[in-house]
Structure 1
Amino acid sequence: MNATLDAWPIINVPSIQLVQGHEMGETEKYKPSDYAIGVVSVLSGGTVKTVKTIGKVVGTVEDIEKKAKNLEKAAKTTNFTKYPTGFDEVAKYVKEYKKLPDNYITKKQAKALGWERKEGNLHEVAPGKSMGGDIYRNDDGVLPSKAGRTWYEADINYISGYRGGDRILYSNDGLVYKTSDHYKTFTEIK
């Protein structure tokens, strides 16, 4: 066996440690999860001790298995809802319910959670949320005006980082428009 281990000097020490079942110079035996860490160390060329140190930060195989089981259990007992995020989906929702889906928050709500426009951190402070519900002033008069009409805006297709140029603009009386170029052009969604 020593001849085989000597043939691979890169993995010599970690291999010996795995065979002996403990760190060289130490008497504490490995736990089952340490063997998994040891295999990783042998394959990666590191020492068992180095990988165990990393493992303390990341967690043992047993911890990871426990977390995975808890996540699986939560997934089975949670009623997941897919919120609309595309142009047609959000427009349909707004027309039907006269409001944005629950995954939308206003700029004021986002700021209260720690959102900073210059940092593009909405996905960090409000995971799964998109910006929407703020008044769009229609200062240039491109959208149809009418006494008593109020326009609102909502981001479309937002996932993370800085907000893109896709928006819908919807009115309090049922009109919905979209823009993909950050308010340069508008198309009505019927």
Structure 2
Amino acid sequence: MDIARQVVSFLRSRGLMLATAESCTGGYIASLISSVPGCGSCLDVGFVTYSPTGKAGFLGVRETTMERFGLTSEEVAREMSEGALRQEACCADVAVSNTGVADAVPGGGPPPGTQCFGWSYKLRSGDFVTFSETKVFDGDRNDVRRAAALYALSRVEHYYDSLRSVERTNGGEHVREQ
């Protein structure tokens, strides 16, 4: 079974809805999910926020976060995924975000293929538990984007399964996976 089908099956089995907040992947994560028959019961909304103004305006990513940590950072990815869940019309319980660089950045910056991810889960209390990771993928621009989208989906169930231990150990704070 492919990753998108596994995620749809997992979300449906738990009665969960997914939101995506994508930058570098440009909607690829939502597209993979939407390619699976029956995904309408678990895909709520997808945001593509490529620019800093889009991230700030639509997802509430703070300008200070972008300035301090850079657009390609776990801090921005976390604010993106939490921002998607905070949207008034969003009915999702889970949000996946991605921000990164697929190519070399003029004037320096993160290495090509650097991708930052956030996975946020809305608890019954209304609080969020958010996990984040940074990975570097090889290949050309579209290879990196595809690998990042698949990776983002591949961790949805993993982090869901980690929720109970995280809630007990740190009260639902942000968690950075090494």
Please classify the TM superposition score into its range, dividing by the shorter chain length. under 0.3
Larger radius of gyration: 1
Higher strand share: 2
The TM-score with structure 2 as length reference comes to 0.27
The TM-score with structure 1 as length reference comes to 0.26
